[in-house]
Amino acid sequence: MNKFELFCMTFLAIDSVWQETHDETLGIFLSGMSPYTFADVGSADPAEYTEFCQFINEPITEENSYDLACQYVKWRNDEAASKAFATIPREEWEDNLETYLSEEHKGSDAYMERARQAAEDAKRRSATGRLEHEWRGTDSQGAVWHGYTAKDGTICGFYIEKGKQ
């Protein structure tokens, strides 16, 4: 399980509570966190996913995912989100996690591998041998990916621009 999958599961768990309550404060929390607003791997407010990645600094497994998500939500110090997450039983999380991971989804290991291939392709084709701030590369399935690199060289966003999802 990777960070983006844990981020999505955390969002989906809290969103399931919002679907029942339509709590306005919870909706505001979720609007910045949404991993589905844009095609790339990230959140509607890029700072949300960046902070999540900085907070989660240990290996993620299916077994510890619930606890890590709970710690993250508490760390965010948002009363509505904390209350919402507290209503999600571990068993429900585990059932939903099994379903989520068994289906094709944005951020899966296969998806991330294809993004890595495209980044490597873009790097090979670059005149500098490095990824430019904005880059395009092709994966092993022929899909063209559009990506962005931060000043420190880390990839901060990418999506399939053209080709097989």
Give the start-to-end residue ranges of the domains of the chain. Answer: 3-102, 109-162
- Other CB atoms within 10 A of residue 93 CB: 21
Model pLDDT, residue 165: 62
Mean per-residue pLDDT pooled into runs of 10, the chain (165 residues): 94 95 95 85 87 94 98 97 97 96 84 91 94 93 89 80 72
Q: What is the residue whose two structure tokens read 């291939």?
A: 117
